[in-house]
A and B are shown apart, each in its own frame.
Chain A
Amino acid sequence: MAPGDGEEPVLTPTPVRRDRRGLRATRAGRFRAPSTPFLLRLGMALACLPVVAFAVAIHVGVERNDSTVRTVGREATRGITVAQALKVELAELDGVVVRSLLGRAPLNTTGFPDDYNAKRAELHDSLVLAALVSSSGSVYEQPLVNIDYVLSHYHALIKDAFAAARDGDIAGASATYGQAHQVMAETLLPEADFLDKANSYVLNDSYDRHTARSASTARLILVSWLAVLAFLVLAQVLVAKRFRRVLNLGLALATVVALVSGALTLNRLDASSDHLTSAREQDFDSVHVLARARATVESARQAQGQFLLGPPAAADAQTDFDHHVSRLLRVQGSNPTDATDFAEASTLPDGAGGYLARVASPGATNPEPESVRQVMVAFGAFLNEDAAMRDLVNSGGLGAATARYMDGQAYGDLNDAINAAQGIEQEAFDDAAGAAADAAAPLDDINLVAAPAILLLALLGLFQRLREYRA
């Protein structure tokens, strides 16, 4: 019970005579104060407006936030990850061909080595996964359709290359594989990149829109919240003045609920936004860059193998390898040997570029810097092994160089290091994206309870006074 409940109201019912006087006063153009019942009824009617506006503002804010979290935290990022995984599978398939040709792998009844068929099956699974997780729309479907179509050409060329190798026509095998590799490098890998680009567009768009409108969303909620509080305080003051009672329980409780729900909403949306910023601007950038690095390492590995296949493609393969390495790490004004030293020492000067520099530069934020340092060290070892392999080729030790390539110890270590670092970054991203979703998750439900509660309590408080007045 509110203090004073049960007491007589201060004002008595308005006599008819006063009404008539009021009417005359109005006719004479003078202001007449509205009656208390009128004010109470007006208050009850108007109570809906700020409360509904407040509820709608919260709902809009939560919807916007959820939509961004869903796109940035799940759909687009998953699309990018799948696109890069697809690219890695494609590059690995190309690498398997080189290794099979170099190792004279036996062909099975399908005309392909077992390794090739196994990798082909994995690639098929990745394509199916990409189709399943991709959003609908030509921008996502077109590259997958193109990859599916062009792969048939690639397989046909590879089959011819293997057949030529089986028949002892190494030069023919190398030339046919060269055509297949061109299909891979100029069509298949760019199509996988296109899928990445489409998802990047969506990711950037969603995030930038969120950034641009988060302030306006917060303002909208804040203004509607203040409107509700102002209304409740005003009503409380009015009732206190007219009824000589300090507190109306209904209005007081409504004010408390409004205070708590508004503060909670703003706080949680702010926290969600912070988590999303961390997920997008720190963690996912690293995931994305490492995924691209992984695919690039695979392409570099393929170029190493093609270099060993023989003179016709050796020069181009060397150029390809250098290009891939520079995409991984480049240091202005330095030669590749310096890059190896920087990588091994895991210290990068200002102006270093490439995927690995993005995650290993002093300004980069990593949940576990040691994992990135391991990547750098492994990359240095990979470059060293490549240099040793090329030295062997130049000194006439093609067989030893091929054996070293087939062993692929440094390549394996580098892959493992990148995968480990990417896993850590992915986990950090998932945590941050999950926290962003969790922070805002209960708000709609809270709003669903709080808004009617505020309205009911306010109406109850005002109605109680109106009933007392009538009595």
Chain B
Amino acid sequence: MSRSTGRGRSTLAVLAALTTGATAVGGCSGESSASCQPSEIPDHDENTLIIEGDAWSGYAPFRDEGLLDGTGYTAVYVEQICQEVRAADLTAGRADIAVTTLDQYLLQHPEGTLVGIIDQSLGADALALGTANHPELDSIDDLPTLVAQFAEEGDKPVLAYTGSSPSEMLLNELANTTDELRLTDFELVSVDQSATAWEMLQADEAQLAVIWEPDTSAARDAGYTVALSSADVPAAIVDVIVVSDRLIESDPAAVQAVVTSYYSTMDDLLASPAALERFYAEDGGLDAETAGTLIAGIKLYGTGEADVFMNDELFPLDKPQIEQSINSIGSVLALIHPDIPLDQAKIDGGYVISVADGAR
């Protein structure tokens, strides 16, 4: 698994439990907690900022050792796949910044503030059908026929997905917003990563699989059908920058340095598609074409769009998009976490405003 494909974010089993049934995901949450390892944070001086995240491609700029060059600060990226630990580290002050998904910020509610948006998944995560092994299975509309075929033998088609990852969230969102996918029609198999689900699809051990880039592109190239994707449920998977409250209090200049450096990097990359492709290809050890496909499935944010997302009161709800996203994602999470503290989500778009003002 190349670096960029890693998306081992901690569990959304709470969401999955809503629809996939206890047998499918009952153990996800517990497994995730059990496998959590403490973060290996190196010794560092007071001008070094600890950024915790996972191997998701969207976080690539934070892995760049030169991110804070010229600001008087340095950044150290600590990989921590466990969301609970990431949030705990932020609260305890072991980490200064966490890059994570919005839903995990709401679920884990660390003592931190949202200061920026990184990206949204718009197709990078997808549901692929095993067309190569079942040539008749080339549309989402063929699922009833497939289900009926298996039912004749007293069986169900297998749907493989990565537990404790955005794949779970995508699966649940798709199951509850589209008519074509009924999870009870399938035997749900939780696997460790997208590559495993993709292998199962190729071996016909699964007839459907939820995968992410670059497996999505590989599946498409190999003649498998990408039937549904995160593009069908926009705003379900949003990556954000969370800064610890204690850093905001003690050293707001450091926060500004990070936000400014990140969006400057993104502005430069977004202005040059070739450089953007190269950057993500190098980060993940991918070829240019795969990197291009990967980027196409993610909406990346530069200064201007991030400013709009964080600060502009968008017609017709007249609220910033970040608030709208918190409300919609949080509302769904609140279905099984009635005590989820949505009103405690903290947003500070001021750092992005400063960057935008500077850019103007």
Residues of A at the B interface (CB closer than 8 Å) are 137-139, 142, 146, 149-150, 153-154, 183, 187, 193-194, 197-198, 200-202, 204-205, 207-209, 211-213, 281, 288-289, 292, 330, 332, 350-355, 357-358, 361, 363
Task: Give the CA-CA distance A211 to B156 in the complex, in Å.
Answer: 16
The majority secondary structure among interface residues of chain A is helix
A211 / chain B contacts, CB cutoff of 8 Å: 21, 184
* Closest Cβ–Cβ distance, residue A148 to chain B (whole Å): 11
Cβ contact of B144, chosen from A197, A355, A361, cutoff 8 A: A361
A200 / chain B contacts, CB cutoff of 8 Å: 176-177
A149 / chain B contacts, CB cutoff of 8 Å: 316-318
Chain B contact-residue range equals 35 or more
B22 at the interface (CB under 8 A from A): yes
Task: Give the CA-CA distance A330 to B17 in the complex, in Å.
Answer: 32
**B179 near A197 (CB under 8 angstroms)?**
no
B180 / chain A contacts, CB cutoff of 8 Å: 353
Cβ contact of A351, chosen from B139, B176, B179, B342, cutoff 8 A: B139
B296 at the interface (CB under 8 A from A): no
* Segment 127-163 of B: residues with Cβ below 8 Å from A: 136, 138-142, 144-145, 148
Name A136's closest neighbour in chain B (CB-CB): B338
A197 / chain B contacts, CB cutoff of 8 Å: 176-177, 332
Given A150-B316, A193-B177, A204-B176, is A137 in contact with B139 using a C-beta cutoff of 8 Å? no
**A209 near B332 (CB under 8 angstroms)?**
no
Task: Give the CA-CA distance A205 to B331 in the complex, in Å.
Answer: 16
Given A289-B179, A353-B180, is A142 in contact with B327 using a C-beta cutoff of 8 Å? yes
**B139 near A332 (CB under 8 angstroms)?**
yes
Besides A198-B332, A351-B136, 20 more A-B contacts (Cβ < 8 Å) are: A138-B334, A138-B342, A146-B317, A149-B317, A183-B316, A194-B328, A197-B177, A197-B332, A201-B18, A205-B18, A208-B19, A208-B21, A208-B183, A211-B184, A212-B22, A212-B23, A289-B179, A332-B138, A351-B141, A354-B141
B175 at the interface (CB under 8 A from A): yes
Cβ contact of A202, chosen from B21, B23, B138, B335, cutoff 8 A: B335
A292 / chain B contacts, CB cutoff of 8 Å: 179
* Closest Cβ–Cβ distance, residue A131 to chain B (whole Å): 15
* Closest Cβ–Cβ distance, residue A113 to chain B (whole Å): 22
Instruction: Mark interface residues in B4-31 (1 if CB within 8 Å of A CB, else 0).
Output: 0000000000000111111100000000
* Segment 41-83 of B: residues with Cβ below 8 Å from A: none
Task: Give the CA-CA distance A268 to B51 in the complex, in Å.
Answer: 58
* Closest Cβ–Cβ distance, residue B217 to chain A (whole Å): 24
**A332 near B18 (CB under 8 angstroms)?**
no
**B328 near A142 (CB under 8 angstroms)?**
yes
* Closest Cβ–Cβ distance, residue B329 to chain A (whole Å): 10
* Segment 268-282 of B: residues with Cβ below 8 Å from A: none
